[in-house]
Amino acid sequence: MKQNAVSILLSFVFLINLNTQAQDLKGFSVDLNLIRYSEPYGLYMDYCEWSFVPGFTINYSTSNHLTYFAGLQNVNTEVKIGGIDTYEHSTSKGVEIRVGAGISTNNEKRIFVRLNLEGFAEVSKLRGTYDSGPQSPGVPNEYELNHWRSYFGIAPSFSVNFKLTDRIVFFADTRFRFGKMTFSGTETTFWTNTLYQDHSEWVGLYDPLNNLGFRINL
């Protein structure tokens, strides 16, 4: 998956180089993603949390207002919620690819904002335990979570950008994702009783702080 992501990013850069007819790197920039505050969607429960999500995005601006971008970001989240009777403790580890475009106010200004629309693809491994609470006698209630999860869709986002220098920009963005999430794997109890089979669902997730990081103008 990571090899495919790198290939997509390299192809993106190659096509842009063809269009610019071997000009210099003017218009290119690289985002270094560091921190996120978002919903680490679990199999049954979810809530917002802070997480360290290293990643990068390659941007190409054709003007002071229009930017195309493609990025790769690590997925490393944890759900730990619930009480004595019902709870979920799970982790997700994987990768997310993003490709899109954005329209901004004049990006030559010290402070500017940008409205983006992107397509995203996330693939991750979800593992942990889930307790469904008291059940009928003889019915186990603690389950092992062990799923591959894919999440594909579109996402509008909004970013605020602050230039520290001509080449270094501090940014933060918020995002709403909507798409189809598929869980591939079979949940079982610790007594090998099946919880249910593979399934898909349409999911909307709001990332109050999708990314906090720095941009380097090349």
pLDDT, residue 30, reads 92
Coil, strand, or helix at residue 5? helix
In the chain, the domains with their CATH numbers are: 2-217 (2.40.160.20)
pLDDT, residue 22, reads 44
**Which residue stretches of the chain have pLDDT < 70?**
1-24, 40, 42-48, 83-84, 134-140, 186-197
Per-residue pLDDT of 120-130, as tens digits, reads 999 999 888 88
pLDDT, residue 175, reads 95
pLDDT, residue 100, reads 97
- Look up the pTM and report it: 0.77
pLDDT, residue 12, reads 52
